[in-house]
Amino acid sequence: MLFRDYKIGFADAEKEYLRTPEIFKDAFFDVNKILDELINKYAFMLIGKKGVGKTAYNAKLQSLSDENDNFFVEPMKLNDFEFTTFAKIKLDSNLSGTKKYKHSWEFIILHKLYNILFTKMKYGENTYINERISFLDKIGFPINLDYKENTKMLSKLKIGNNIVSFDLEFENKFKVKPITYLERISTINQYLIDGLNGTSIYFDNDKIFLTIDGVDDILRLKNFKNEIILGLIRSIDNLNVNFEKNKAPIKIILLIREDIVNQLTDPDLAKIKRDGSILLDWSRNLDGLKKLVNLRFKLSGVGEDVAEVWWKTIFPKYIKNKDSWEYILDYTLYRPRDILQFLKTCQTLYPDKENLVYSDIQSVLNEYSTNYFIEEMKNELTGFIRDDLIIALPTILQKLGSRSFFLGKFYEIAIQQPTIKNLNIDEVKSLLMLLYTVGYVGQLHHNNRKGNASVIFKYRTPRVNIDYSLKFITHRGLFKGLGIADG
């Protein structure tokens, strides 16, 4: 079989689902049985680093929905959500922290759920649903309004004709005159929640999932990022609890990056994470990564009886006295996207070959490092680190002249870059902290009096924290593309 004939898939799981849906039917590897947790248990928040496969789980849920009429999955993608507009929604002055945005998120999500039930699942004959849809229409939020338009409407809920007509309908419905934004939205939210009740609606055997993905785009927002994300998490947790109480077979699932969650601080977040989150991490299941690759081989037509050993059919058994699978893994961060992009690069450079030799693999690694791994690093830093420092980072690493370096040397070279202005040491520490946390740099730890050192990368040894006095070392996935010495 030629490399061009393999069905490796795409870097983006959404494109895979649209173009090669058979991947999610026949070649999806469910690490640590996460699907069962998401479908049948309380956990609602799938957390993981960029590239570990969160969106693939979203696509798998949609794939299951295609096969089962009673299993409905609707994605809500926030990639083009109006976060800037959402941040400007007028808040009552006494609200702080997650309360600022929790109720607005609940309204947007509940409106979306009613839209799903009415327009896509044809629950239009239910009195409770129709009553609430009619009320939403009267207050200016018709059911066909998408969540982006909802955000704009909420932001206009201030003064003038909009608020006057809104309040008239509100007072007519609830027999009380609203005074604050919180009173208006929280009352309506509870009304909508009460309508989604298993005793009022005959759901039959239906299971309904709303998956929320694309939170990364909030990183472009300068203010209120943390409050908005915390509000989203708190709102989903609250809604899921209410659905469970109401015996409504509805669940909201949030897919979110680990580095975004790690920057949040909230008294209740630890409890929510403990009860409701799943960490998608392949570093403790490297055998799972191999099985994922073997499933792609099978999908491509490799027989089941040989798929387990097929890797050593197309690659050398050993590279530099090391098992070739382990050798290639050293150039990844133990993420599915990394290993699949390595295979895609093999296809791109050597489409007409059946197997590769050592020199071919080195060419592949050079290409993979330059056009994938370095770019992934820059993308992963976006939103956390200033843009001029991200752009200059490859040049800084190159000018270090070695894979290993100290903080002082890195800072010295960084401030010499003409494109970087007014850089302080704390900003460099923040950069190195993020690079270390994700795994793009590690550190050299001395173990004994003889000075023997071991290389520690956090994605392999999660409990080891950064020490700025120690020497840093660049990940192998970077140094080939950067052209720096391995030493």
- pLDDT above 70 as % of the chain: 96
Instruction: Give the angle 248-253-254 at the CA atoms, nearest 5°.
Output: 150
Domain end position, chosen among 228, 244, 279? 279
Same domain, 90 and 226: yes
* Residue 193 belongs to some domain of the structure: yes
Q: Is 166 part of a structural domain of the chain?
A: yes
pLDDT at 449: 61
Mean pLDDT of 192-220: 91
**Within a domain: residue 314?**
no
Amino acid letter, residue 385: I
Structure confidence by residue, pLDDT tens digits, 13-32:
777 877 888 888 888 999 88
Q: What is the pLDDT of residue 125?
A: 84
441 located within any domain: yes
Q: 272 and 402: one domain?
A: no
Using one digit for the tens of pLDDT, what is the confidence trace for 97-144? 567 889 999 999 999 999 999 998 988 888 999 999 999 999 999 999
Q: Is residue 347 part of a domain?
A: no
Is residue 40's pLDDT more than 80?
A: yes
Domain that residue 394 falls in:
386-487
pLDDT, position 17: 79
**pLDDT of the residue at 85:** 82
3-state secondary structure 89-118: CCCCCCCCCCHHHHHHHHHHHHHHHHHHHH
Six-digit token string for 348:
């791109």
Residue 33, amino acid:
K
- 89 and 224 within one domain: yes
Q: What is the pLDDT of residue 82?
A: 82
Model confidence at 396, pLDDT cuts 50, 70, 90, reads very high
For residues 48 and 336, is the Cβ–Cβ distance under 8 A? no
pLDDT at 479: 84
Across the range 243-262, mean pLDDT stands at 95
Residues 393 and 258 in one domain: no
Q: Are residues 393 and 245 in the same domain?
A: no
Q: How far apart are CA 5 and CA 302, in angstroms?
A: 11
pTM of the model: 0.92
Q: Give the residue-averaged pLDDT of 427-440.
A: 96
Q: Is residue 73 part of a domain?
A: yes
Buried b (16+ CB within 10 A) or exposed e, 33-56: ebeebbbeeebbbbbbbbbbbbbb
End-to-end, the C-alpha distance of the chain in Å comes to 38
Mean pLDDT across the chain: 90
H or E stretch including 318?
A: strand 318-319
Point out the domain boundary residue: 222, 256, 279. Answer: 279
How many domains does the chain divide into?
2
User: Is pLDDT at 198 greater than 60 in this prediction?
Assistant: yes
pLDDT at 94: 60
Q: What DSSP element (H or E) covers 22? A: helix 22-26
DSSP state of 385: B
| In a shared domain, residues 393 and 272 | no
pLDDT the model gives residue 49? 92
Q: Among 447, 422, 443, which Cα is nearest to 432's?
A: 443
CA distance 296 to 344: 12
The count of other CB atoms within 10 Å of the CB of residue 448 is 7
The residues, ordered by sequence, that sit 6+ positions from 418 with a Cβ below 8 Å of its Cβ are: none
Please check the confidence at residue 427 and state whether its pLDDT lies above 70.
yes
d(CA 1, CA 5): 7
Average pLDDT over residues 455-481: 91
| 206 within domain boundaries | yes
Cβ distance 215 to 197 under 8 Å?
Answer: no
In this predicted structure, what is the pLDDT of residue 487?
53
**Six token digits for residue 433:** 């902290």
**Last residue of some domain: 223, 252, 279?**
279
**Does residue 430 form part of some domain?**
yes
Residue range 370-395: mean pLDDT, rounded = 94
pLDDT value for 448: 59
Can you give the CATH number for the domain in which 454 is found? 1.10.10
The beta strands (E) that lie in 176-242 are given as: 207-213
Pair (271, 395) in one structural domain: no
Assess whether 239 and 115 both reside in one domain. yes
- Can you give the pLDDT at residue 98? 65
pLDDT in tens, 58-108: 999 999 999 999 999 999 998 878 888 888 775 655 655 567 889 999 999
